[in-house]
């Protein structure tokens, strides 16, 4: 966790205080179930809640005990006993440390997933608002970085919306994957604890009972969780790179927000850098990288080894905190993105109308020209435009006017025929359909 790439709501999930609170709840709920089953006295279960339910545990004190006992769960239980008194001996009956640790880790991941889903909701809402705002803002579509045909900026955003909406679905599935609880004892056999305890704790903690565990909850669940975060991060990268492209000096169709007062480098007013989206590109690399050790964690030996533990101390917080920060930052970027529709048009038009050449070609053939003749006619006019563009970055020759002035072209097409093919509406006529597909009829 790097403080500057962290938000407190997410880092709180990974604080020792939160962890010990979750440990307590697991133990207290287990005690309830044990009492219900007659294994421990009902008053003992009540006492646990009464004496410690409202307590904030003393992390320093627990650390101090751990330095002696060299065991984190025992240190916690010892500290807990300081509040509960003699009934403390009824805590943790028949359980093993992993029952507490693994269930707690999953509770933390579920909380993290809930935050990430809320992050996605906020991001989706920001993208949707901007998408409708720019539903009809015409801009050039580019394949291979080369001007192709017109699209609208709203369509670009609708694409981003649909992608993050898919990511939301994936994240919900990933959340479900790690929302399990195991209270099954040393090697998962329930030898010393009734399976009904697990079922009770699962219910109480908002989890489902792990159908079959070893000493630990199986790590394919976590591999899938972190792999899903990696895919979400890749989508963050995609949008970030789109904005970085749009902000480059030669394109400048959009910019990350800067306040009117703010002036970039005062002497160099053009030096407004897309630093937020560049930062997001880097953060995406990190979140992606965490998927690998998570996958290598799956093949624990026999009923468990502890190799996954160090990995999870890193990636549990790092992956969720970083992605939470990235999603919030991206939401902010999308929310405030400066969009320059005039520049979009200007960029498209700098090619002097060449984006319409294909439609003219078709019109000529439909009007009876041989394919080869049509090509030649389009090309001789297009090349004039293109050459003027290539030299200076803005065409000084206009394709429409060249065509209108070419008598061979006019032999097939009237002025109206030609002007009709320069209609941008041709390219945007299905935008409403696509928006309905993506956003529904709202």
Which of 13-21, 75-83, 155-163, 413-421 is the region at the interface with its own copies (rule: CB under 8 A)?
Answer: 155-163
Question: Does residue 134 touch its own copies according to CB under 8 A?
Answer: no
Which DSSP state fits 56? Answer: P
- Among this protein's residues, is 144 annotated catalytic? yes
Question: Does residue 11 touch its own copies according to CB under 8 A?
Answer: no
**CB within 8 A of 413, min separation 6: which ones?**
360, 363, 364, 367, 403
Which of 10-18, 38-46, 411-419, 430-438 is the region at the interface with its own copies (rule: CB under 8 A)?
Answer: 430-438
| Integer Cα distance of 284 and 24 in angstroms | 35
Contact 199, 209 (CB under 8 A): yes
Which of 22-30, 38-46, 107-115, 352-360 is the region at the interface with its own copies (rule: CB under 8 A)?
Answer: 352-360
The two most distant CA atoms of the chain are separated, in Å, by 104
Q: How far is CA 304 from CA 213, 308, 392, in A?
A: 10, 9, 67
Pairing relation of β-strands 338-339 and 254-255? Answer: antiparallel
Question: Does residue 441 touch its own copies according to CB under 8 A?
Answer: no
Pairing relation of β-strands 254-255 and 180-181? Answer: unpaired
Q: Look at the alpha carbons of 18, 20, 24, 26 in this order and tell me if their dihedral is positive or negative.
A: positive
Question: Does residue 354 touch its own copies according to CB under 8 A?
Answer: yes
> Token digits for 380?
């001789």
Cβ closest to its own copies, residue 12 vs residue 50: 12
Catalytic pick among 144, 259, 270, 302? 144
Catalytic pick among 15, 71, 265, 396? 265
First and final CA of the chain: distance in angstroms? 40
Which of 27-35, 113-121, 122-130, 186-194 is the region at the interface with its own copies (rule: CB under 8 A)?
Answer: 186-194
- Among this protein's residues, is 265 annotated catalytic? yes
Question: Does residue 228 touch its own copies according to CB under 8 A?
Answer: yes
Question: Does residue 417 touch its own copies according to CB under 8 A?
Answer: no
Question: Does residue 278 touch its own copies according to CB under 8 A?
Answer: yes
Of 243-262, binders to its own copies (CB under 8 A) are 244-245, 247-252
User: 10 Å Cβ neighbour count for 407?
Assistant: 7
Cβ closest to its own copies, residue 25 vs residue 119: 119
Q: What number of chain residues touch its own copies (CB under 8 A)? A: 141
Question: Does residue 108 touch its own copies according to CB under 8 A?
Answer: no
Active-site residues: which are they? Answer: 144, 265
């Amino acid at each position: 966790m790097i403080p500057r790439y962290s938000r407190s709501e997410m880092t709180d999930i990974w604080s020792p205080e939160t962890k010990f609170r979750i440990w307590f709840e697991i133990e207290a709920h287990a005690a309830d179930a044990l009492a219900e089953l007659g294994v421990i006295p009902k008053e003992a279960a009540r006492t646990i809640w009464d004496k410690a339910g409202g307590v904030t545990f003393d992390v320093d004190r627990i650390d101090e005990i751990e330095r002696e006992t060299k065991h984190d769960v025992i240190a916690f239980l010892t500290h807990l006993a300081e509040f509960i008194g003699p009934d403390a001996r009824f805590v943790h009956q028949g359980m093993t440390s992993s029952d507490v640790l693994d269930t707690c880790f999953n509770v933390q991941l579920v909380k993290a997933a809930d935050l990430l889903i809320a992050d996605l909701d906020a991001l989706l809402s920001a993208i949707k608002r901007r998408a409708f705002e720019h539903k009809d803002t015409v801009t050039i579509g580019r394949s291979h970085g080369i001007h192709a045909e017109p699209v609208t900026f709203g369509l670009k955003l609708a694409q981003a919306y649909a992608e993050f909406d898919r990511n939301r679905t994936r994240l919900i599935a990933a959340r479900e994957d790690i929302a399990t609880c195991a209270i099954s004892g040393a090697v998962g056999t329930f030898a010393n604890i009734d399976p009904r305890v697990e079922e009770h704790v699962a219910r109480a903690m908002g989890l489902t009972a792990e159908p079959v565990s070893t000493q630990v909850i199986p790590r394919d669940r976590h591999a899938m969780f972190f792999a899903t975060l990696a895919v979400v991060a890749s989508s963050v990268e995609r949008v970030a790179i789109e904005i970085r492209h749009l902000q480059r000096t030669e394109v400048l169709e959009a910019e990350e927000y800067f306040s009117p007062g703010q002036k970039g480098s005062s002497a160099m007013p053009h030096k407004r850098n897309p630093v937020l989206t560049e930062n997001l590109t880097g953060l995406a690399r990190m979140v992606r990288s965490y998927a690998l050790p998570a996958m290598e964690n799956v093949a624990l030996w026999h009923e468990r080894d502890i190799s996954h533990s160090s990995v999870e101390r890193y990636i549990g917080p790092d992956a969720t905190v970083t992605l939470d920060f990235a999603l919030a930052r991206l939401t902010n970027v999308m929310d405030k993105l400066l969009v320059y529709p005039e520049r979009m048009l200007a960029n498209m038009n700098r090619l002097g109308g060449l984006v319409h050449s294909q439609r003219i070609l078709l019109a000529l053939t439909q009007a009876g020209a041989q394919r080869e003749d049509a090509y030649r006619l389009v090309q001789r006019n297009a090349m004039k435009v293109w050459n003027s563009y290539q030299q200076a970055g803005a065409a000084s020759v206009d394709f429409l006017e060249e065509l209108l002035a070419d008598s061979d072209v006019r032999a097939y097409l009237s002025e109206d025929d030609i002007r009709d093919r320069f209609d941008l509406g041709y390219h945007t006529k299905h935008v409403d359909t696509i928006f309905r597909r993506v956003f529904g009829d709202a």
